[in-house]
């Protein structure tokens, strides 16, 4: 799991090991339901006593915080979702190319309006990789028209606006194939297709062909895989050669 940083902003009832470390930044490797776990040792920090410290750069994939949609004169109808940072416009301001195809410009966001999409935003189940596109919460499920199974299952352990881990949502949904597809259809996740690696012989770009059956071919030197019965099989066979 990718690490990130948090800053201590308080100490709850004051009876914590970090009570005298307010303002300090710590590297963490993840979290359980209520705590961030430090990368070194076995200590933890209460989530309610910390804020995540984001180090953004051009090329990072980010998500706009739901509560910030429509702020700073941005139109709510064309704001929000995920995107790529394309420019640093000031010390704390970044230009973001949003995934929303309706948006033809790159709006500006302050660093505290964005969430860096870490590796934990992708999860592979039964050979399929899913990428999270928006917040997964009980409230979001209700607004999307989820059936009672979702609401009852997650409502027992999560507050209505508390983030549900992608892994947990996918594991639960995988019991019923139609529910995995529902997550995709409602825009909570997308299926990530594996991409072709460069040619191992000349470094050229590869493509996959379907005549007479499926295989992968290099555009430059013509190197190719064996004949395959599916696109996924062809991509897997090619990438293993690299």
Q: Is the pLDDT of residue 13 over 50?
A: yes
User: Are residues 112 and 152 both part of a single domain?
Assistant: no
Quickly list DSSP for 115-177: EE--GGGEEEETTEEEEE-S---HHHHHHTT--HHHHHHHHTTS-TTSPPPHHHHHHHHTTSH
Number of C-beta neighbours around residue 192 at 10 A? 13
Q: Which tens digits make up the pLDDT trace of 223-241?
A: 888 777 766 677 778 877 6
Domain that holds residue 178: 119-192
Q: What are residue 82's phi and psi, to 5 degrees?
A: -110, 165
Domains contained in the chain, number: 4
Q: Please answer whether residues 241 and 226 qualify as being in contact, where contact means their C-beta atoms are separated by less than 8 angstroms.
A: no
**What sign results for the dihedral spanned by CA atoms 61, 67, 71, 76?**
positive
- The domain that holds 109 is classified in CATH as 2.30.30
Token pair, residue 74, equals: 């941005």
Q: Which tens digits make up the pLDDT trace of 76-87?
A: 767 777 788 888
Place 127 in a pLDDT band, splitting at 50, 70 and 90: low
User: Are residues 143 and 185 both part of a single domain?
Assistant: yes
Residue 151, pLDDT score: 86
User: Are residues 169 and 129 both part of a single domain?
Assistant: yes
Q: Which tens digits make up the pLDDT trace of 179-218?
A: 888 999 998 988 876 667 888 888 887 876 755 566 788 8
Give dist(CA 225, CA 168) in Å, integer.
Answer: 37
CA-nearest of 58, 61, 74 to 107 is: 74
**pTM assigned to the model:** 0.43
User: Are residues 178 and 206 both part of a single domain?
Assistant: no
The whole-number average pLDDT for the span 21-48 is: 80
Local structure of 97: helix, strand or coil: strand
User: Are residues 45 and 11 both part of a single domain?
Assistant: yes
- For residue 118, what are the contacts with CB-CB under 8 A and spacing of at least 6? 1, 2, 4
Residue 2, pLDDT score: 60
The region, left, alpha or beta by phi > 0 then psi within -120 to 50, assigned to residue 228 is beta
Please identify, among 116, 137, 155, the residue that sits at the C-terminal boundary of a domain. 116
Residue 218, pLDDT score: 85
């Amino acid at each position: 799991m990718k690490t990130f940083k948090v800053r201590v902003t308080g100490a709850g009832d004051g009876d914590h090991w970090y009570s005298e470390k307010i303002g300090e930044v710590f590297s963490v490797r993840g979290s359980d339901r209520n705590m961030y776990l430090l990368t070194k040792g076995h200590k933890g920090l209460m989530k309610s006593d910390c804020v995540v410290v984001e180090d953004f750069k051009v090329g990072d994939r980010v998500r706009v915080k739901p509560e910030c949609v429509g702020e700073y004169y941005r139109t709510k109808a064309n704001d929000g979702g995920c995107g790529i940072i394309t420019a640093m416009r000031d010390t704390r301001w970044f230009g973001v190319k949003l995934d929303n195809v309706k948006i033809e410009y790159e709006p500006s966001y302050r660093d505290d309006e964005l969430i860096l999409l870490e590796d934990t935003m992708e999860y592979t189940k039964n050979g399929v990789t899913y990428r999270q596109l928006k917040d997964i919460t009980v409230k979001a499920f209700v607004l999307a028209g989820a059936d009672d199974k979702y609401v009852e299952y997650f409502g027992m352990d999560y507050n209505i606006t508390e983030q549900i881990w992608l892994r947990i949502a996918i594991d639960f949904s995988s019991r019923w194939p139609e529910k995995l597809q529902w997550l995709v259809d409602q825009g909570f996740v997308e299926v990530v297709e594996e991409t072709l690696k460069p040619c191992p012989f000349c470094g050229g770009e590869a493509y996959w062909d379907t005549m007479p059956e499926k295989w992968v071919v290099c555009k430059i030197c013509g190197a190719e895989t064996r004949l395959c019965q599916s696109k996924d099989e062809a991509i897997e066979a090619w990438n293993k050669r690299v």
